[in-house]
Amino acid sequence: MSRLAQVFTDKKATLLTTAAVSVIVAVVAELARSMFSPVASRYISIINIMLLVVAAVILVLLLDLRENVERFQEKSDLIATRQQVEVLRTSIDRLNKHIGFSIEYYRCGGRGADAMEKFRKLHDAAGAVIRDAPPRAQIFAVNSYVEVFAESNTEEGEQIQRDYLKHFIDRTDCRYHRVLQLKNGRSAGSRQPPLSRLITPAYLDHYREMAAQMTARPQLPILIGEVPAKLPTSYVVVKDPDSSSGKIIWQINQHATDAHDPDAEEMLGIFVITDPQGILIPRFVNWFEMLERTGRRPLQPGDLE
């Protein structure tokens, strides 16, 4: 039976077998007709036709049997144990997590309309990270006042920054902590020169709003403070509330050779990192906590006048 099933499940074998039977029947019928008289040949022709009909019926039956065997085999292949299903589901979940890790780079710079378009695209990508963060997410931001945003000198560039920073204020359902790194040699709380002269207008207004909300609405999970500069980088971490997964906005800077401050830096671009497995998120959070331990001082509205 198993050998017969193998023949029936092979379409070519089925057709060849049926064709061979038909040829043999036709040859035998012709030989028989040539052996009899012309009067009897008509009866032989009738027999020949009947045999061909029988061969056709056999072909139909063989094809139907082949389809039934194939259908049975397909059903057999679909049968899987519960353990196999769980292993498959686990493998798919693991694959999705690995595939979910991604790094996208957005650069800025250039001149004219091209520079402004890059600046807008960069902030749109960063703003989407904050806007699409899950409820109760934890947002950790690290900045340095020695950053220079040349594009923010224009009205359009400043508005792009304001639109981006508004996403942070709108997320009142998230814990939002930001630290401002102070240049080496500047002690926490020092007001010479005032921070308001060192920060671009959009960020200065954002810091002022954060400080005002800390004072007026202490129930909100918002905190802004200043710390001694330690990390030559800026970044934002958006950590999921119940896991170590999330996203990172990692700003890459370069020395601003044309700035008055010899330590000033300007933004070269950002990496937007999607980290569903929590490979990098804990490290960036640890850096943030390390900065806080160096002596974070909460900023008050008067500190930004």
What pLDDT digit, counting tens, does each position of 235-245 carry?
999 999 999 99
Do both 27 and 127 map to the same domain?
Answer: no
Mean pLDDT value of segment 10-30: 57
Domain that holds residue 163: 101-304
Q: Provide the pLDDT for residue 241.
A: 94
Q: Is residue 24 part of a domain?
A: yes
The confidence band for 118, taking pLDDT boundaries of 50, 70 and 90, is very high
pLDDT digits (tens, 9 = 90+) for 104-117: 999 987 777 888 99
Q: Provide the pLDDT for residue 171.
A: 93
Q: Is residue 89 part of a domain?
A: no
Instruction: Please tell me which residue, 208 or 294, carries the higher pLDDT value.
Output: 208
**DSSP H or E stretch at residue 247:** strand 246-255
Instruction: Please tell me which residue, 138 or 48, carries the higher pLDDT value.
Output: 138
Do both 257 and 178 map to the same domain?
Answer: yes
pLDDT digits (tens, 9 = 90+) for 176-219: 999 998 875 454 455 556 777 778 889 999 999 999 998 888 88
Do both 63 and 116 map to the same domain?
Answer: no
Do both 134 and 245 map to the same domain?
Answer: yes
The confidence band for 89, taking pLDDT boundaries of 50, 70 and 90, is confident
Do both 155 and 299 map to the same domain?
Answer: yes
